[in-house]
Structure 1
Amino acid sequence: MRRITFQCNKYSPGVLYIMVLFGVTLGLLTFYAFLVFSGIEKGPEHGPVYFREHPMHAVYLIFGLISIAMSLPAWIAAKCWSRKEEEALLDLYEDHAVLYWKNKELHIKKGTLNIKIPKPQPYWYKTYILKIPGHRVVLVGSVKETKEKRRKQLSLDIAIEELSAYKKVKSRVHNVDRMQKY
């Protein structure tokens, strides 16, 4: 038996997408509330005196705040998402492997595992999708470990490399039959 300990992100990329969407929506609503309360949304004739005298400053303020209202919440969401990490264990035996992840114990028999790497991959984290009969596991590489760069490979990459020996083998006969149909 070999035991591999690896770091992974606590949340899946779907949680990041929801956080970014919620944050940007909240930022744009805050931006609109600022426009309403400042009086800029009424137009150049009825707006604040300063912006009636300097209409280009209102334009600069509006476009500057749009970029801030969209990028700042997205940056905060990414920082909060990447901060949460957890440790997982992988026990490798000759005929099976056991993955201890998120308080679950998943048994992987040799030849039943399917590993997918979604394309395109973001540049600051790496995602693996493990399909085991009855389970679908999304593992995201540790962002902190990526920034530290203590090793050439991340601990998750090493664990997936070792786990690839348990992958489902595609039969060549099945592929040949499929090719003959076309």
Structure 2
Amino acid sequence: MELIFIRHGQGEHTLDLPASLQLMDPGLTKDGVSQAKSLQTQFTLAESDIVIVSPIRRTLQTAYIWSNDINCKKIVSPLVSPRMFPQNPKWKTLPCDRILNKKVIKGAYPTFTIDEGLPEELWSSGINTMPEQEFNVLAESFLEWCRSQSVERIYVVSHDGTITSYRQFISGKRLTRKDFPKETGWFKQLC
């Protein structure tokens, strides 16, 4: 089984750094929409694929545009929500990285399934500031769930820090911010 992590398209929160990080619920820019559309030719989705999406508007938009007209399973999960990288206990979640309410997600993306099997605290705080040991436990559980699925491919539409955190966990190698994927950049792992 292939596990493919894809970073969302360009978000509005990246246009005027650092001030734009204070935006609440930023969506994709015009370039971000184009990047999401380009995923359709880069990665041809099949109905048998699973797409796991972070509960943030820019990732939901990326997955929605990319998977347009493909009836594959789309699951929204806080296990792939924004994650600071590297971790710093003094840092707080930025407004641009706050998880959307499940009701808002269901209303805007009715074809997506909400991962209801997780503790409610993950839906409120996510994995953003979670200590590395706690993240590692959840990461292992998430990867085990992925391995248990009878599919050829699982795609994860997420964020640079989250993808790098999973890459570091999977590889066992120390990574840095220099290892961040660019907008709609990706990382493939065989599981």
Q: TM-score normalised to the size of structure 2?
A: 0.22
Q: TM-score normalised to the size of structure 1?
A: 0.23
Larger fraction in strand: 1
Structure scoring higher RCO (CA < 8 A, sep ≥ 6) equals 2
Larger fraction in helix: 1
